[in-house]
Structure 1
Amino acid sequence: MKLVVTGGAGFLGARLIGTLLSQERPAGFPEFTSIVSVDLAACPVDDARVQSVTGDIAGKAFIESVITPDVGAVYHLAAVVSGQAEADFDLGMAVNMAGTLTLLEACRKLPQPPRFVFASSLAVFGGKLPDLVPDDIAVMPQSSYGAQKAIGELLVNDFSRKGFVDGRVCRLPTIVVRPGKPNAAASSFASGIIREPLAGVDSVCPVPTGTRLWISSPDTVIANLIQAAVVEASRFGDTRTVNLPGISVTVAEMLDGLERVGGKDARARVTLAEDERIKRIVLSWPGDFDVTRSLSLGFTRDGDFDGVVRAHMRDHGQ
């Protein structure tokens, strides 16, 4: 059987593929002998068990050539990120909404419903929210990206209700610290104010220091994505959507952690310059969740932010 990962050339997809191939998989994880990475570029994981297929996930013929009868599970991670989806509405709709539907329709034609893990986002939330967001609150996105992800959530839930796929929707916290360079995501600064200063590079924070964020380290997000494919479908109850656990920190607390772990010089490399476009998007996202349900399903979270910074420094020899 094959496992398909859309967005397999990206940071999260490549890390998931590498982890699945290098570590023992938990009991209940779908069996597979190869992984197909679907993206606009080749997957960087160098392994004979990985096949890179490049193309547009919104293309019906392309996706149907990928989703063949021997596909047993799909991780749908590909997306146009938040800032880009807001700037280019048509591109966001084509990839984030139409691409998700195209992929689900291809899975619907398989002889057996595949396990289908969909990466959603905190951007589905908005409006007036309580300080601690409950698991069953209605979504009210305040961006095109958030709306597109909310549509994807509803599609995965309905395709699961109909028995077309065995879906699991994971609302990911903001991932900190992402390696590499900044991207067009509105949340990109959350990694940048840690990653760049630790590398000796100046960074700008575009939101007030009191802004509260819901974050998770890359290792924990990968572990939770793997766990999503393990949980028995019946345990999800009325909805296949789950808010993945994170830790709640303000930007000020993040910078304090940077100074404790990385030193005063690192903290001094961060300057504050508010960006109204980014601030408008980020401030619509909730900063703390009641994750009693997701923890009961076996999902985990980081211990504290200092540990998140240390993990990044360990991974990058700092």
Structure 2
Amino acid sequence: MNILIIGGGGFLGQKLARRLIARGELRGRQIAGLTLADIAAPAPLDAPFDIACTACDITDRAAMDALLAPGFDAVFLLAAVVSSHAEAEFEDGMNVNLHGVLNVLESLRLQGRAPVLVFTSSLAVFGGEVPDPIRDWTIPNPQTSYGTQKAIGELLVNDYSRRGFVDGRTLRLPTISVRPGRPNRAASSFMSSIIREPLNGEEAVCPVDPEFPHYYLSPRLCVENLIRGAEIEAADLGQSRTMTMPGRTLTIRQMIEAMTAVAGPEPAKLIRFEDDPAIRDIVSGWRFDYDPAKALALGLEADASFEENVRYYLEDDRPT
């Protein structure tokens, strides 16, 4: 089994790589090789099998053809320009989130190998005037450029799978919290920073109201779900290769209360609330009431509580 992670330098790609190395197998087959590709070459990892780390620009079709030429049994397509970045820089979002995804799909189509393809989408494909709860068959109605680009990617993966060019499956990610590292340009970045920074003894700013609700999943469970998504048999996916990953809906206040239950009262004192109209305008179009019935039926899971998300960060990612 040879595996490629496109976006392998990001925090999720790195966690996925480490988990695959620890497992040593995927879809019942031993892993023989793992390639991590990103705009800058990811840092090398130790593994009991061949591992390669390479720089590759998803917007460069020739570069994608060269990257995919060796042939892979499974491809995880994680690379993306995130929400606020895609909204502020329209061309960047289109180049990566639409044309880049098409480059990958076209390269795989012309190879004729039909590998398993796991594509990460977003809840940003939903919005506007649709009834709650949002189900797997709810029609996407994105209210941002990022959501629109991801919705197009979902349709492409579905059609390329229908035609037998890839064995695709698309997983719409909840907000992944608590993310390690520093804030990025995702509009949802503060949903990690208001927990991560206080746990690290640093101040954090929350740009929305304490009662703002959203749909969350920990990085640890996200990685497990990506792997489980790759292992689902094509026949079990049905006519739609797209599903929403399980998560839990919480308000900002409930997140902070969960952090306090795990780490005591001091971290919460480092959070201050300051309204940010730019962030508010983006996140106010997001939805938070989801019914991930398909993913649950296929074995994907949500965290038992947000306290678990906090504990996972303390165990896996807090700087020592």
Shift of 1:2: 2.5
CA deviations over 1:106-153 (Å, ceiling 9, x no partner): 000223211010000111111024342122111111111111111100
Shift of 1:29: 5.0
Mean Cα deviation higher: 28-37 or 102-111: 28-37
Q: Work out the CA distance in 2 between the residues paired with 1:267 and 1:166.
A: 45
Structure 1 equivalent of residue 125 of structure 2: 124
Structure 2 equivalent of residue 40 of structure 1: 39
Tell me the percent identity.
43
* Partner amino acid, structure 1, of 2:282: I
Q: Work out the CA distance in 2 between the residues paired with 1:31 and 1:113.
A: 19
Structure 2 equivalent of residue 159 of structure 1: 160
Structure 2 equivalent of residue 222 of structure 1: 223
Q: Work out the CA distance in 2 between the residues paired with 1:37 and 1:267.
A: 37
Contact 1:206–1:273 at 8 Å: present in 2 too?
Answer: yes
Shift of 1:288: 2.3
Mean Cα deviation higher: 35-44 or 141-150: 35-44
Shift of 1:215: 0.5
Q: Work out the CA distance in 1 between the residues paired with 2:77 and 2:250.
A: 28
Shift of 1:69: 4.7
Q: Work out the CA distance in 1 between the residues paired with 2:161 and 2:56.
A: 26
Structure 1 equivalent of residue 113 of structure 2: 112
Structure 1 equivalent of residue 273 of structure 2: 272
Contact 1:246–1:301 at 8 Å: present in 2 too?
Answer: yes
* Partner amino acid, structure 1, of 2:13: G
Contact 1:57–1:99 at 8 Å: present in 2 too?
Answer: yes
Q: Work out the CA distance in 1 between the residues paired with 2:52 and 2:110.
A: 22
Structure 1 equivalent of residue 60 of structure 2: 59
Q: Work out the CA distance in 2 between the residues paired with 1:288 and 1:45.
A: 39
Contact 1:14–1:45 at 8 Å: present in 2 too?
Answer: no
Structure 1 equivalent of residue 23 of structure 2: 23
* Partner amino acid, structure 2, of 1:159: Y
Shift of 1:44: 2.5
SS in 2 for 1:313: helix
Instruction: Report the CA distance shift for 1:30/1:165 in structure 2 as closer, same or farther (over 3 A).
Output: farther
Shift of 1:73: 1.3
Shift of 1:173: 0.6
- 1:48-87 to 2 correspondence within 5 Å? 49-87=50-88
CA deviations over 1:181-207 (Å, ceiling 9, x no partner): 001000100000000001111101111
Structure 1 equivalent of residue 313 of structure 2: 312
Q: Work out the CA distance in 2 between the residues paired with 1:68 and 1:136.
A: 35
Q: Work out the CA distance in 1 between the residues paired with 2:295 and 2:51.
A: 30
Instruction: Report the CA distance shift for 1:132/1:250 in structure 2 as closer, same or farther (over 3 A).
Output: same
Structure 1 equivalent of residue 5 of structure 2: 5
Shift of 1:102: 0.4
TM-score normalised over the length of structure 2? 0.95
Q: Give unpaired runs (5+ residues) of structure 2.
A: none
Mean Cα deviation higher: 287-296 or 183-192: 287-296
Structure 1 equivalent of residue 255 of structure 2: 254
Shift of 1:208: 1.4
Q: Work out the CA distance in 1 between the residues paired with 2:108 and 2:86.
A: 25
Q: Work out the CA distance in 2 between the residues paired with 1:203 and 1:268.
A: 10
Q: Work out the CA distance in 2 between the residues paired with 1:29 and 1:249.
A: 36
SS in 2 for 1:58: coil
SS in 1 for 2:201: coil
Q: Work out the CA distance in 1 between the residues paired with 2:255 and 2:146.
A: 25
Structure 1 runs (4+) deviating above 4 angstroms are none
RMSD: 1.5
CA deviations over 1:226-274 (Å, ceiling 9, x no partner): 0011001111112000100001111111111122222221111111111
Aligned length: 317
* Partner amino acid, structure 1, of 2:20: L
TM-score normalised over the length of structure 1? 0.96
Contact 1:30–1:229 at 8 Å: present in 2 too?
Answer: no
